[in-house]
């Protein structure tokens, strides 16, 4: 079970501020833990739903990192989803409000197969005829999106409703990946530009799989990573700065106007990546100092509200010891954020929960919470999650996928 870390001081408000020094503590944070016990094991939160349930991956090793397994964090518990029957590793990438999870697991021969996990069972979705396939997201209607990898690294995005349905390419382009799907069945991701080899274009697909180029970044390489129910899209594009260096810029594409704005706003940061957007326009992602094609020694999780950037570390109690590095996803209701940070020198998945919101991963009326543990004999227990919730506290809120040119998560 993840360790719940609660603010002990008075939690006065949940407003966000663009000034790092003046930001109000707005979130509590939970360490989702790991399956393994080795000193270097990691976990990573890829997606979170409106109840604060999270999916991602964790290492399982006891003396080293060991195999990676997909997880579901719900009911205050980190649940190992295992792998497909002949597999050894798995990663969870998408979760809906019913607690269904999609991702990938390897199988014999180390091929990757997309899966659907529900009601305790992981179902093999195959590869859509390709060599590998990954499921990336699932909406409440059960529509899944992802991509299949064919020989020659030709990726073809797909949407799945009782069978694979290939998503339309851009012209004669031969590659597309779908990363998100919203409640209307609209998907977002990228498709390659048929005129420039290897250059990707951030796109959306309507519910029938018809593609639209979002025309981000003046024709430079771009990827859409996040999508809300209103059809707004976030991601990143590459551009050249005054020193002729390639840098990454986060974007927010507005469905209502068909135009995008560039997101930034933290002093000293060079590259920005936007990964998730809520229905009320909160955007999460990262800022870093590295070049746009590699990892950085200094990476910060970021939230944008009304286009103003704030480091997530400035919105949690600094005494808790967290360094939030990757903000991978935000729930559609805007209450929950997941990703990865460091705590006590270890890379762990986290759940950030807006102050005043429940932070237990329980779907009301469906998953009853576990009873509180009995107090220890001969001592006074520290306040438990349920006791603090009863007192009026709450806790709130990812490829990764292979991110292409974005800093990549393990697995």
Q: How far is CA 72 from the centre of its chain?
A: 13
**Per-residue pLDDT at 367:** 55
C-alpha 381/C-alpha 26 separation (Å) is 26
**Per-residue pLDDT at 241:** 86
* Residue whose token pair is 């050894």: 88
Q: Give percent above pLDDT 90 in the chain.
A: 66
DSSP structure class, residue 98: T
C-alpha 217/C-alpha 148 separation (Å) is 26
**CATH topology classification for 3-365+379-390:** Neuraminidase (2.120.10)
Neighbours of 367 (CB within 10 A): 15
Is the pLDDT assigned to residue 379 strictly greater than 90? Answer: no
Q: How far is CA 116 from the centre of its chain?
A: 17
**Per-residue pLDDT at 410:** 41
C-alpha 127/C-alpha 366 separation (Å) is 32
The residue among 357, 373, 355, 364 whose CA lies nearest residue 317 is: 355
- The b-or-e profile of 40-65 (16+ CB within 10 A means b, else e) is ebbbbbbbbbbbbbbbbbbbbbeeeb
Tell me the CB-side half-sphere exposure of residue 219, using CA atoms within 13 A. Answer: 4
Of the listed ranges 41-45, 167-171, 291-295, the least confidently predicted one is 291-295
Spans of all domains in the chain: 3-365+379-390
**Residues 6+ positions from 148 with CB-CB distance below 8 Å:** 127, 128, 129, 130, 132, 133, 155, 156, 158, 164
**Per-residue pLDDT at 386:** 27
Q: How confident is the model at residue 402 (pLDDT cuts 50, 70, 90)?
A: very low
The residue among 339, 267, 259, 270 whose CA lies nearest residue 309 is: 267
**Per-residue pLDDT at 18:** 40
Q: For the residues 167-180, what does the mean pLDDT come to? A: 90
State the pTM of this model.
Answer: 0.84
3-state secondary structure of 324: strand
**Per-residue pLDDT at 153:** 64
Mean pLDDT across the chain: 84
| Total residue length of the chain | 411
C-alpha 54/C-alpha 63 separation (Å) is 26
Tell me which H or E stretch contains 385: helix 385-390
Q: Are 106 and 121 in contact (CB under 8 A)?
A: no
Alpha-carbon Rg for the chain in angstroms:
20
Is the pLDDT assigned to residue 9 strictly greater than 50? Answer: no
The residue among 306, 326, 403, 238 whose CA lies nearest residue 16 is: 306
**Residues 6+ positions from 172 with CB-CB distance below 8 Å:** 194
- Sort 265 into a burial class: Cβ within 10 Å, 0-12 / 13-18 / 19+: middle
Q: How confident is the model at residue 23 (pLDDT cuts 50, 70, 90)?
A: low
Position with higher pLDDT, 6 vs 164 = 164
| pLDDT tens-digit readout, 184-239 | 999 999 999 777 777 999 999 999 999 999 999 988 999 999 999 999 999 999 99
**Per-residue pLDDT at 393:** 30
| pLDDT tens-digit readout, 90-129 | 999 999 999 999 999 999 999 999 999 999 999 999 998 8
Neighbours of 361 (CB within 10 A): 28
The residue among 195, 130, 187 whose CA lies nearest residue 156 is: 130
| pLDDT tens-digit readout, 37-72 | 999 999 999 999 999 999 999 999 999 999 999 999
Q: Are 24 and 15 in contact (CB under 8 A)?
A: yes
**Per-residue pLDDT at 11:** 35
Residue 172 token pair? 């004669």
| pLDDT tens-digit readout, 309-348 | 999 999 999 999 999 999 999 999 999 999 999 999 999 9
Of the listed ranges 18-27, 107-116, 156-165, the least confidently predicted one is 18-27
Q: For the residues 139-163, what does the mean pLDDT come to? A: 85
**Per-residue pLDDT at 17:** 39
346 to each of 37, 284, 321, how far by Cα in Å?
11, 22, 11
C-alpha 288/C-alpha 407 separation (Å) is 9
Task: List the beta bridge partners of residue 222.
Answer: 237
Q: Give percent above pLDDT 70 in the chain.
A: 80
C-alpha 403/C-alpha 381 separation (Å) is 44
Q: Are 92 and 46 in contact (CB under 8 A)?
A: yes
Q: How confident is the model at residue 85 (pLDDT cuts 50, 70, 90)?
A: very high
Classify the phi-psi angles of 209: left when phi > 0, otherwise alpha if psi is within -120 to 50, otherwise beta: left
Q: How confident is the model at residue 400 (pLDDT cuts 50, 70, 90)?
A: very low
C-alpha 304/C-alpha 91 separation (Å) is 27
């Amino acid at each position: 079970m993840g360790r719940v870390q609660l603010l002990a001081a008075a939690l006065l408000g949940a407003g966000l501020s663009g000034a790092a020094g003046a930001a109000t503590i707005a979130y509590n944070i939970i360490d989702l833990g790991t399956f393994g016990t080795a000193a270097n094991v990691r976990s990573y939160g890829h997606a979170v739903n409106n109840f604060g349930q999270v999916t991602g991956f964790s290492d399982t090793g006891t003396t080293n990192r060991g195999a990676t397994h997909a997880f579901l964090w719900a009911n205050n518990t980190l649940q190992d989803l295992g792998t497909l029957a002949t597999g050894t590793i798995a990663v969870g990438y998408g979760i809906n409000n019913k607690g269904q999870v999609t991702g990938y697991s390897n199988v014999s021969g180390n091929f990757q197969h997309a899966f659907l996990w529900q009601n305790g069972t992981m179902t093999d979705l195959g590869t859509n005829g390709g060599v590998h396939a990954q499921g990336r997201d699932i909406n409440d209607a059960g529509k899944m999106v992802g991509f299949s990898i064919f020989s020659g690294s030709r990726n073809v995005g797909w949407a799945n409703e009782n069978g694979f349905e290939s998503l339309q390419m851009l012209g004669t382009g031969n590659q597309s990946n779908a990363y998100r799907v919203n409640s209307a069945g609209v998907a977002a991701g990228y498709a390659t530009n048929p005129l420039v080899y290897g250059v990707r274009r951030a796109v959306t697909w309507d519910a029938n799989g018809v593609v639209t180029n979002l025309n981000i970044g003046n024709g430079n390489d771009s990827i859409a990573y996040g999508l809300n129910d209103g059809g707004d899209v976030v991601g990143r594009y590459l551009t050249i700065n005054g020193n002729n260096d390639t840098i990454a810029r986060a974007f927010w594409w507005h469905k209502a106007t068909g135009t995008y704005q560039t997101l930034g706003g933290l002093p000293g940061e060079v590259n920005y990546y936007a990964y998730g957007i809520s229905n009320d326009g909160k955007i999460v992602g990262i800022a870093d100092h590295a070049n746009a094609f590699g990892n950085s020694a200094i990476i910060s999780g970021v939230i944008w509200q009304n286009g103003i950037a704030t480091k997530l570390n400035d919105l949690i109690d600094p005494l808790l010891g967290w360094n939030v590095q990757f903000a991978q996803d935000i729930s559609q209701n805007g209450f929950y954020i997941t990703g990865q940070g460091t705590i006590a020198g270890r890379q762990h998945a986290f759940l950030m929960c807006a102050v005043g919101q429940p932070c237990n991963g329980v779907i009301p009326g469906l998953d009853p919470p576990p009873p509180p543990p009995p107090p220890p004999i001969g001592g006074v227990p520290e306040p438990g999650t349920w006791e603090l919730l009863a007192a009026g506290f709450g806790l709130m809120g990812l490829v990764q996928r292979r991110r292409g040119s974005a800093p990549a998560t393990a697995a």
